[in-house]
């Protein structure tokens, strides 16, 4: 079941990225809302693998966005730890980690 869930999440992530930025938390929400019955740790591990795949194989990039406006806070953040639990939630100021399709080069994102 986990392989099917991983393949499904990968397809969903690519489709969402074609429409615009995708928060890492959104990928977790997607897999939690699907009918795969994964426990939370398995779901988070799957999201991490999907993020790594999107970065290494699909040319996606990480950005920091502001909730709820989607304003770019940093379009080239450094030192992001994708093993940290914090990657799944906005911080206290509403900044969250998101993926963008690098082919779109952040077009359409709101800039301050």
CA dist., res. 53 & res. 55, Å (int): 5
Query: Helix crossing, 40-57 with 24-33: angle to 10°?
Result: 130
CA dist., res. 46 & res. 40, Å (int): 10
All residues at 6 or more sequence positions from 5 whose CB lies less than 8 Å from its CB, including other chains: 31, 34, 36, 38, 46
pLDDT digits (tens, 9 = 90+) for 61-90: 999 999 999 999 999 999 999 899 999 999
Q: Is the pLDDT of residue 110 over 60?
A: no
How many Cβ atoms are within 10 Å of 56's Cβ, its own excluded? 9
Domain ranges, ordered by start, for the chain = 4-106
Residue 1: band (very low, low, confident or very high) from pLDDT cuts 50, 70, 90: low
At 46 the pLDDT is 97
At 2 the pLDDT is 73
User: What is the average pLDDT across 80-106?
Assistant: 89
**What is the token pair recorded at 44?**
């988070």
Burial 26-46 (b: 16+ CB within 10 A, else e): bbbebbeeeebebeeeebbeb
Q: Is the pLDDT of residue 106 over 70?
A: no
Q: Identify the residue with better confidence: 102 or 87.
A: 87
pLDDT digits (tens, 9 = 90+) for 20-51: 999 999 999 999 999 999 999 999 999 999 99
At 9 the pLDDT is 98
């Amino acid at each position: 079941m986990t392989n099917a869930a991983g393949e499904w999440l990968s397809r969903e992530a690519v489709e969402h990225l074609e429409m615009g930025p995708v928060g890492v938390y959104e990928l977790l929400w997607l897999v939690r809302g699907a009918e795969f019955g994964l426990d939370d740790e398995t779901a988070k591990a799957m999201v991490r693998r999907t993020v790594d795949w999107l970065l290494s194989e699909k040319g996606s990039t990480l950005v920091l966005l502001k909730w709820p406006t989607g304003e770019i806070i940093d379009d080239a953040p450094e030192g992001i730890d994708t093993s940290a639990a914090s990657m799944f939630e906005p911080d206290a100021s509403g900044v969250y980690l998101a993926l963008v399709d690098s082919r779109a080069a952040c077009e359409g994102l709101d800039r301050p």
